[in-house]
Structure 1
Amino acid sequence: MSRHTPTLRRTVAVATIASTAFALTACNRSGSSDSGSGGGTKTVGVSLITKDSTNPFFVAMQKGAKADAAKNNVKLTVASGKQEGDDQGQITAIENSIARGDKGILITPMSTGVNAAIEKARKAGLFVIALDTPPDPASTVDITFATDNRSAGKLDGQWAAAQMAGKPAVIALLDLFNDKIVSVDYNRDQGFLEGMGIDVKDPKKNGDEAKTGKYTGGKGGDYTIVCNEAGQGAEDGGRSAMEKCLAKNPNINLVYTINEPTAVGANAALKAAGKTALIVSVDGGCAGVASVKSGVIGATAQQYPLKMATLGMEAIAKIANGGEKPKPSPGLDFYNTGVALVTDKKADGVESITSDEGAKICWGN
């Protein structure tokens, strides 16, 4: 294996420092306990509730938690919605966790529709940690372990503006939902626009910015926003959303996508229409990194779901055994698990790693 480049070392170093700092306050992986109960660490019931069990991001999160559960003496229950948008599936899983007497819940909250169930769990004494998707408001849970999704979107936008090099940007925004408010959705979308140098109005609302104007990122230029379409975070949704956008304007040359399955679907629609466009995305799974390598995706912001799940589980196990609660990262209202832009087309002033480097630290198949 080749040595990491200086850029990758900096990226990994940030993640390592964050992990090490947290590990100093996390539970002892050897199974010993300072809970004062006289003996070993007690078994702790924890539920991991993801949005679905098919998205590679959530599959990686589940696998990582399962692999790490025994090290922390955790009895782990894994549950999820049937698909993106299944609030009731998550609500049922939360209620089951309360009924089992679990000590904590790790959840990627579907939307504000699950807030009341989370509050019920906390009132019942469970420590609730959101993973990947900070709830709105953030105080709905005890703490969130997540990527800084705003920063992830900004990296995409800064890179895209540099690549446009002053040319008119005809933009399609392929979001997660159009009927639910999810922080990861608006933070990535609005972060992308901010990175492009496009003024946003309500930073927590997609689609209310001016549809035409000037972007100030890179060399600056004119922009037109053709559409905000919901792809539901899935490949087929991304394809249908892109088809709708192309029907509005066939000259789209820049596509932002909420995640990599959406990006793959968007590329399929573009290819079928005989069109090409620069595509940016977020996630950094191994399949997504391979899409960067092949040129399907121009750049993707890589996040680390396994770290979110394992650190969250360690935190609940520690708390259940009398330890301290985790604290947010400095200057944020959540615990930041890191992000790195993966691209093979480096842009001046935008820190990134190559697809080969990203493949060494990616997740999923």
Structure 2
Amino acid sequence: MQKSKVFAVSAALATVATLAVTTAHAALAQGQPVIGLITKTDTNPFFVKMKEGAQTEATRLGAKLLTGAGKADGDNAGQVTAIENMVAAGAKTILITPSDSKAIVPAIAKARAAGVMVIALDSPTEPASAVDGLFATNNYQAGVLIGQWAKKAMGGKKAVIATIDLFPGQPVGIARHNGFLAGYGMSGVSAGTAGQVNAGVACAQDSFGDQAKGQTAMENCLQKNPDINLVYTINEPAAAGAYQALKAAGKEKSVLIVSVDGGCAGVRNVEAGVIGATSQQYPLKMAAMGVAAGVNYAKTGKKVSGYTDTGVNLITNKPESGVKSQNGKYGLANCWGK
């Protein structure tokens, strides 16, 4: 029975892949540019909105969009398969948010050798030169903004810091974490710092950007040091989880939480006082720019190059002097997700 189920699932996946190739080849025959979008997951609201933005722009520009994703953050094998399928389908541009910035590089190299332009969205590859271009938030600057705000908001109180991070070695997680510490005033940390700095941090735990794991991470940190009064989180789902742990411990009013992303649920948590401040990024813009670049490549043969900053804004309802910010109303007008 189990084998029958596995064969049935495999057959279904093969049928989907064959259908995608067939429809892509039909689009090519009609002169439509074929563009692939590969996200880390299909469920994270950030990537759901990215997919929506890519589809809207592809429709507007008359391109055929193929989509794929890993099963979860860190699923490199799933992304490799998606690249191979899209190359076979005739995609001339692939947009990807790499789950594993190093392990994905060989698959990207094969695609580029086949004439495919590859653009990283949101997360850089290692090395950055593994792709033709990167459209992304400056994640280090996003961290700096919440670090600067937190320093002011703490009002001279000694910070006992917990960081609820992504997972080891992920460039986005490292950049946001280090940016937060630099913004708070830690010396010796810069945008070029390669590894995650934990000096001056009372507790650092990984959450994989997940709410339930964020709650567990915060519980672990409170066990390690109950005096924690400032929490940095990699994203707003992790922040929501951390808040639940703090609330269960009766500490939700005495601990300040800052985060990064700017999703609608996260901004509503800023409005509710769950999150003190968050740095908002713009996945719709990343995706739309990537699709437009892909269509231009199909028409002109001109590839993009280097890094394009897609912007970041600090969202808070408690502005601090010297730290540029927008309020929750602005955040809700520009957020993504539900």
Please, what TM-score do these two structures have when normalized by structure 2?
0.87
Displacement after TM superposition at 1:176 (Å): 0.4
Look up the equivalent residue of 1:336 and give its one-letter code: D
Look up the equivalent residue of 1:182 and give its one-letter code: Q
**C-alpha distance in 1 between matches for 2:267 and 2:195:** 29
Match of 1:228 in 2: 204
SS at match of 1:113: coil
Match of 1:104 in 2: 93
Displacement after TM superposition at 1:165 (Å): 1.4
Look up the equivalent residue of 2:328 and give its one-letter code: S
Displacement after TM superposition at 1:210 (Å): 2.6
Q: Which has the higher helix share?
A: 2
Structure 1: give runs of 5+ residues left out of the alignment.
1-40, 212-224, 329-333
Residue 330 of structure 2 corresponds to residue 357 of structure 1: yes
Residue 236 of structure 2 corresponds to residue 260 of structure 1: yes
After superposition, residues 21-100 of structure 1 pair within 5 angstroms as 42-100=31-89
Match of 2:248 in 1: 272
Does the CA contact (< 8 Å) of 1:49 and 1:80 recur in 2? yes
**C-alpha distance in 2 between matches for 1:78 and 1:200:** 41
1:159 corresponds, among 133, 145, 149, to 149
Displacement after TM superposition at 1:204 (Å): 1.8
Look up the equivalent residue of 2:279 and give its one-letter code: A
Residue 276 of structure 2 corresponds to residue 298 of structure 1: yes
**C-alpha distance in 1 between matches for 2:35 and 2:250:** 49
1:191 corresponds, among 173, 179, 196, to 179
1:309 corresponds, among 287, 305, 311, to 287
Displacement after TM superposition at 1:136 (Å): 1.8
SS at match of 1:85: coil
**C-alpha distance in 1 between matches for 2:33 and 2:162:** 46
**C-alpha distance in 2 between matches for 1:110 and 1:118:** 13
Look up the equivalent residue of 1:115 and give its one-letter code: V
Does the CA contact (< 8 Å) of 2:132 and 2:305 recur in 1? no
Residue 295 of structure 2 corresponds to residue 322 of structure 1: no
Does the CA contact (< 8 Å) of 2:209 and 2:235 recur in 1? yes
SS at match of 1:351: coil
Displacement after TM superposition at 1:200 (Å): 4.3
Does the CA contact (< 8 Å) of 1:341 and 1:353 recur in 2? yes
Does the CA contact (< 8 Å) of 2:33 and 2:62 recur in 1? yes
Does the CA contact (< 8 Å) of 2:120 and 2:131 recur in 1? yes
Displacement after TM superposition at 1:323 (Å): 5.2
Displacement after TM superposition at 1:42 (Å): 2.9
1:142 corresponds, among 123, 126, 132, to 132
Does the CA contact (< 8 Å) of 1:256 and 1:281 recur in 2? yes
SS at match of 1:169: coil
Does the CA contact (< 8 Å) of 1:91 and 1:117 recur in 2? yes
Displacement after TM superposition at 1:326 (Å): 3.2
1:79-110 CA deviation, whole Å, 9 max, x = no partner?
Answer: 10011111111111011111112101000011
1:214-269 CA deviation, whole Å, 9 max, x = no partner?
Answer: xxxxxxxxxxx112211001101111111111110011110001100010001011
**C-alpha distance in 1 between matches for 2:127 and 2:261:** 23
**C-alpha distance in 2 between matches for 1:136 and 1:269:** 35
Structure 2: give runs of 5+ residues left out of the alignment.
1-29
1:338 corresponds, among 311, 320, 325, to 311
Does the CA contact (< 8 Å) of 2:132 and 2:303 recur in 1? no
Residue identity (%) = 52
Q: How many residues end up aligned between the 2 structures?
A: 304
Match of 2:264 in 1: 286
Look up the equivalent residue of 2:332 and give its one-letter code: A
Please provide the CA RMSD for this pair: 1.4
**C-alpha distance in 2 between matches for 1:234 and 1:291:** 16
**C-alpha distance in 2 between matches for 1:210 and 1:60:** 35
Residue 74 of structure 2 corresponds to residue 117 of structure 1: no
SS at match of 2:160: strand
1:251-295 CA deviation, whole Å, 9 max, x = no partner?
Answer: 111000110001000101111111131111111011111010000
Does the CA contact (< 8 Å) of 2:42 and 2:48 recur in 1? yes
1:248 corresponds, among 224, 228, 252, to 224
**C-alpha distance in 2 between matches for 1:139 and 1:147:** 17
Match of 1:170 in 2: 160
